[in-house]
Amino acid sequence: MEENIVAEKLGEEASVTQQNNASPELGSGDTSVSTEETPKPRRRRTRKVAATAETGQTALSLDSDVSATEPATKPVRRRRKKVVAEAEADVRPDTSEEAPASKPRKRRTRSSAKVKVETAATETRGETPTEVASPDEIHPTAALAEHNTDATASQADEVQLADFQSATQATNSEVAIQASSSDQSTNPEVVPQENGESSESAETNEVHTPRRRHRVTARDRDSEARRDRTANVVNNRNRRNNRRNKNTPDRTVEPSLTLENLSEMKVAELREKAAELGVDYVGRRKKELIEELFSAAAAAEGFCDVDGVVQMQAEGYAFLRTGNFSAGDHDAFIQQQIVRQYGLRPGDRIKGMVGPARSSSKFPPLLRIDTINGKTPEEIKRRPRFRDLTPIYPNERLVMEMGKDSTTGRAIDLVAPIGKGQRGLIVSPPKAGKTTVLKRICQSIAVNNPEVHLFCLLVDERPEEVTDMERSIRGTVVASTFDMPASNHTAVAEMVIDHAKRLVELGEDVVVVLDSITRLARAYNLAQPASGRILSGGVDSAALYPPKKFLGAARNIEGGGSLTILASALVDTGSKMDEVIFEEFKGTGNMELKLDRDLADRRIFPAIDPVASGTRNEDLLIDAQIQPFVWGIRRILANMNNTERAATALVKGLKATNNNEEFLIRSAKKAAQSDYLS
């Protein structure tokens, strides 16, 4: 009787254990399984089911049968609790004695508090501690097919209660396993191992640890690359925004008080506004008062009209120079966007309006362009480039004669006529009167050819000569005196020649009188960086190219427009450098006017050598009717072996007549009489 009771209790405990572990193992023949649905297997390494001491042999036999019918992956062994290990040792004493002692294993990261709580819960139920079954050992279909539903109602209630407790315990164990796995993923170098873990589990951890480390390293590398790309994108965006803010013109392009607002005001309101701005309104009409008020209001807010010449910089922006082709107090800054929008070029003369200066800028920005070289911005966009124009020989003469007293101009017309597009050199020793000759040429051009734009460029000259030239001629006098640096000499010369080119592109006739090309070459020799190739006299070979470019710009344009350059060259100064410079420019000109120091010492003015002076292709400049007379005079002067005698005869004949035509006719008659008498 007692044996039957013990057998029934053992059967009940085996059925409860099987239901808790959701195992397909079969117990005795009278044991029944609940018809409840087993939980879905989870894909992770879980603990192996620990069989009780009484059902251990039955579980082993069922495992062998299942493994024979269906292959399964080898489960990963985990640390078994102390109670399970003792129970297995009692059931299989011979196996435990024969098995070799396992190596001491590391402590699990699982907290001891959780283990104690789970052990206490299992002891209160009168069960041995169990572990969650692995997916490879769960076969719910086979278990449901083999078991019968012969259990009693009390056994079913106990089974349901045990299932609830087992599910709660499995959930807690899963949470602990997930926490331990997350700790391992964040710290790949620390791989905890349990005490008593098998050698296969250790090998598996050793295999997976480098992979985890590789994945973490790749993830860190990808995150760093993403951060770098994000930083690059932000930096590029900030750089573009800064460039856009720098190149964008100011929003305020007009003063707050506009012409429309002033036109809508009444006369009384305009007078009140004029009193506020300090404008005299007495005796002015409404239209005049509006213009005065607009100018005063704009000036009060920092807006003012500007007129200057463009000086381009290598970076793409430009400055508007208002100080007579040099830096002035009212210079303006031209942004690169405006330069591209209007197609501005070096030397363009611009009239427009500037706004108030920015806090970070020295010069006020140019806000509006009204005219470019006297043309509208729309007309200026269709202009050609200077280098694309076709040069031809000068074929239109610039008349130098201005009356009886213009001896210098009349002598030049006979000896070396000047045409539009001429490239002339006035070769002069010191104190030969070259400045006076240049002054007379400028006066004659201004009087006889008012359509020509006249520029007189004085480089490295005395200040008193600049003042005398400004008071003597009607034209634009641009000067850079000898007390200024060489860089200022070169900058002024380049701006003048660039402006002359811009006018020629529009079909205008321009004359540039330079005094002197020798001093300009000296300035370039000082301002230019040394190239290492030094010529005779200490002249750098690279310093001669810019003056040649300046003088070579003179040309007569086919179809309209011309640029005439008359430059003085110094000789007999005692400087080897001046001789080298003159020899470099000697063959570049197509007209040469030579002055004689001996004639100047004898006070014969103009001290022009009539034999050594001349113009190439002068037949294109002299009228066909008077051409034989001119050549007759040239033959007479050439037959005189003495330069002083020829110059004296020429000057005496010019002073005795009222114009060149009368002088030629009288000279021809005298020549005919001398031939008849001889």
Look at residues 323, 566, 232 and name the one whose alpha carbon lies nearest to residue 423.
566
Tell me what pLDDT residue 141 has: 41
Question: How confident is the model over 529-542, as pLDDT tens digits?
Answer: 888 888 888 899 89
What is d(CA 47, CA 135) in angstroms, rounded to the nearest whole number? Answer: 10
Q: Does the model's pTM come out above 0.85?
A: no
Tell me what pLDDT residue 675 has: 58
Alpha carbon of 524 to those of 377, 485, 582: distances in Å? Answer: 34, 11, 15
Question: How confident is the model over 562-571, as pLDDT tens digits?
Answer: 999 999 999 9
Higher pLDDT, residue 206 or 338: 338
What is d(CA 319, CA 495) in angstroms, rounded to the nearest whole number? Answer: 12
Tell me what pLDDT residue 520 has: 96
Which region among 282-291, 312-321, 551-560 has the lowest average model confidence (pLDDT)? Answer: 282-291
Q: How much is the average pLDDT of 113-123?
A: 48
Q: Which residue do the tokens 């009087």 mark?
A: 447
Cis preceding linkage at 450, omega within 30: no
What is d(CA 216, CA 366) in angstroms, rounded to the nearest whole number? Answer: 58
Question: How confident is the model over 571-590, as pLDDT tens digits?
Answer: 999 999 999 999 999 889 99
Cis preceding linkage at 487, omega within 30: no
Tell me what pLDDT residue 211 has: 62
List of residues 6+ apart from 577 with CB closer than 8 A: 522, 525, 537, 538, 539
Say whether pLDDT at 116 is over 60. Answer: no
What is d(CA 469, CA 374) in angstroms, rounded to the nearest whole number? Answer: 26
Give pairs for 99-103: CB < 8 Å, separation 24+.
102/196, 102/197, 102/198
Tell me what pLDDT residue 45 has: 52
Say whether pLDDT at 355 is over 60. Answer: yes
Say whether pLDDT at 52 is over 60. Answer: no
β-bridge mates for residue 569, sequence order: 427
Q: Which residue do the tokens 């008193």 mark?
A: 464
What is d(CA 434, CA 419) in angstroms, rounded to the nearest whole number? Answer: 20
Q: How confident is the model at residue 66 (pLDDT cuts 50, 70, 90)?
A: very low
Tell me what pLDDT residue 361 has: 76
Higher pLDDT, residue 28 or 581: 581
Q: CA-CA-CA-CA torsion for 485, 462, 309, 475, nearest 10 degrees?
A: -170
Q: How confident is the model at residue 134 (pLDDT cuts 50, 70, 90)?
A: very low
Tell me what pLDDT residue 183 has: 45
Look at residues 47, 7, 46 and name the one whose alpha carbon lies nearest to residue 27.
7
Q: How much is the average pLDDT of 129-147?
A: 43
Do the Cβ atoms of 613 and 647 come closer than 8 Å?
A: no
Do the Cβ atoms of 38 and 22 come closer than 8 Å?
A: yes
Look at residues 636, 629, 625, 614 and name the one whose alpha carbon lies nearest to residue 664.
629
What is d(CA 30, CA 46) in angstroms, rounded to the nearest whole number? Answer: 31
Higher pLDDT, residue 481 or 114: 481
Question: How confident is the model over 648-675, as pLDDT tens digits?
Answer: 999 999 999 999 999 999 988 887 776 5
**How many residues in the chain?**
678
Residue 368 backbone dihedrals phi, psi, to 5 degrees: -140, 140
Tell me what pLDDT residue 271 has: 84
